[in-house]
Structure 1
Amino acid sequence: MQILNDLLPASPPHGEYAFGTALDAKGDIETNLRLLTEKLGPIAQMRQVHGDTIQYASKPGVYQEADAIFTDHPELWLAVKTADCLPVLITTPYAVAAVHAGWRGLQKNIIGKTLNLMIDEFNLDPTKVFATIGPHIRQHNYEVDDNFTNYFDDKFFRPSKNEGHLMLDLGAVARQQIREAGLTDLSITDCGVDTYSDERFFSYRRLSQKGLPINVQPSLIKRVENITYRS
């Protein structure tokens, strides 16, 4: 699996990123993560369930039934696995986090809850917190049933050419949750990649429409400074 490090103009303070792709992927995500461990170092990941559970990672491995994971351990990579959902990577002076945010997680405010937990846990100034939105399906390709207006404000939709449907902007929902946690637009970066149209990346919707096997790519973040951390 090829890793792209040039999706962002620069890494924000306190973090190092790695974005997995569909390029040269070897089998399923677990196989690719094992190969990435050999290349990058120890990785902690989650069994993602589209919920709002947040777990602290003290060591590599799979953390059960969570959709956000954070750590203050230096050199431990955190991985979030997506194929149209949003990977949101958070850096702070004392800890980093990886968040899996599909529409269900966004409806449960998974990003805001993760940011609020970290700000409270580490007594952070929100202006020192940075959030990066990774590759995900963009509004012009994300058609949903019109009953999604029961879950999100009307401002996040635009009309679809198909009756009974709307186009949902997941990224705009994510940015609102980030701002509501106290971050400013200067602290939010979006890589701008659309997984549906960019075939360097796996897309659940594109692959399922073509009848192809579903796969996902990891987005990873690690803490880069040596600090005192939990045992």
Structure 2
Amino acid sequence: MFIYENGIFKSSLLMEKNIKHGFSTRRGGVSRLPYTSSMNVGFGRGDEDDVVLKNIKILEELSGINNSKIVYAPQIHSRIIRKIENEDFTSPVDECDGFITNKKGISLLIRMADCVPVLFYGGNVVCAVHAGWRGTVLGICEEAVKLFSEYGVNPQEITVAIGHCIHSCCFEVKEDFVESVSKERGANFALRHIKKSENGFYADLVSMNEEILKNSGVINIDSSSHCTACNPDLFHSHRKTGGLRGTMGAVISL
């Protein structure tokens, strides 16, 4: 279950573990442009950099994160997750779509505007993943579970929160999308998660990631029911706006 307060969502499962985290909406920030207002954590969307940095700081504070060094990067729709071993970095770091750390005093930020934000906790390790459709079918969540094992954490010990993203009601795709998913994950996987209607094909990124996580051994999964494209007053959505939008973020820290 996800709980909304002060412009952000939190996962009840992660809250039970006392893990500091939050999924931003388009509310609660200081952006003033009509299409980024008021919470935009993405650079290059029209806001001045200092406005974006203020919004990132607000997101951290609303998530209960203080006195932490934040890491973020250009996202490239991959399955690359970077280990953050210490505070010897300057954001943005090299391109990737996720971070993992077992160090306190570091907060992990990924950004989205329809793609799937996934936060992980287990064994005193946290991870944040940006799972676009390409990252999803490439198995970025599988990669996250694999990296947890390198810290000695079993899949059954991991708690996962899948935040708000575009849902199957609004994520219309073309036949080449279906072919790409079938090629990477198999035809049966595509059939389970992509439904055909008289209007076209509709893909379910949430159920894709849930299945991939369960097949990796994860049993504690909290998934948001909110669709970013259905709720333009609450969320930024690339699909809904054709790209004229702000960017939301998901952050987590020990």
Which category describes the TM-score, using the shorter chain as reference length? 0.7 to 0.9
Aligned to 1:128: 157
Deviation at 1:116, TM superposition (A): 1.1
Please say if 1:145 is aligned against 2:163: no
Deviation at 1:201, TM superposition (A): 0.9
C-alpha contact (below 8 Å) 1:160/1:166 kept by paired residues: yes
Partner Cα separation in structure 1 for residue 101 and residue 197 of structure 2: 41
Deviation at 1:123, TM superposition (A): 1.2
Aligned to 1:83: 113
Across the aligned residues of Structure 1 and Structure 2, the Cα RMSD in angstroms comes to 2.1
Partner Cα separation in structure 2 for residue 145 and residue 96 of structure 1: 35
Aligned to 1:118: 148
**Residue type of the partner of 2:110?**
V
C-alpha contact (below 8 Å) 1:3/1:20 kept by paired residues: no
Aligned to 1:206: 240
C-alpha contact (below 8 Å) 2:81/2:99 kept by paired residues: yes
C-alpha contact (below 8 Å) 1:87/1:219 kept by paired residues: yes
Residues 161, 32 of structure 1: CA spacing in aligned structure 2 closer, same or farther, 3 A cutoff? farther
C-alpha contact (below 8 Å) 1:89/1:133 kept by paired residues: yes
Residues 63, 88 of structure 1: CA spacing in aligned structure 2 closer, same or farther, 3 A cutoff? same
Structure 1 range deviating more: 171-180 or 68-77: 68-77
Where does structure 2 lack aligned partners over 5 or more consecutive residues?
Answer: 44-50, 183-189
Deviation at 1:6, TM superposition (A): 4.5
Please list the CA deviations of residues 125-180 of structure 1 after superposition, one character each: whole Å capped at 9, or x if unmatched: 22211111001000011000022222142111112332xx3000000110011112
Aligned counterparts, 1:164-203, within 5 A: 165-184=200-219, 187-199=220-232, 200-203=234-237
C-alpha contact (below 8 Å) 1:56/1:69 kept by paired residues: yes
Aligned counterparts, 1:40-119, within 5 A: 40-41=65-66, 42-57=69-84, 58-59=86-87, 61-119=91-149
C-alpha contact (below 8 Å) 1:12/1:130 kept by paired residues: no
Partner Cα separation in structure 2 for residue 24 and residue 13 of structure 1: 25
Partner Cα separation in structure 1 for residue 9 and residue 54 of structure 2: 22
Partner Cα separation in structure 2 for residue 118 and residue 34 of structure 1: 31
Aligned to 2:193: 156
Partner Cα separation in structure 2 for residue 5 and residue 126 of structure 1: 27
Aligned to 2:57: 37
Where does structure 1 lack aligned partners over 5 or more consecutive residues?
Answer: 224-231
Aligned to 1:22: 26
Residues 194, 8 of structure 1: CA spacing in aligned structure 2 closer, same or farther, 3 A cutoff? same
Q: Give % identity.
A: 22
Q: Runs of at least 4 residues of structure 1 off by over 4 A?
A: none
Partner Cα separation in structure 1 for residue 55 and residue 194 of structure 2: 39
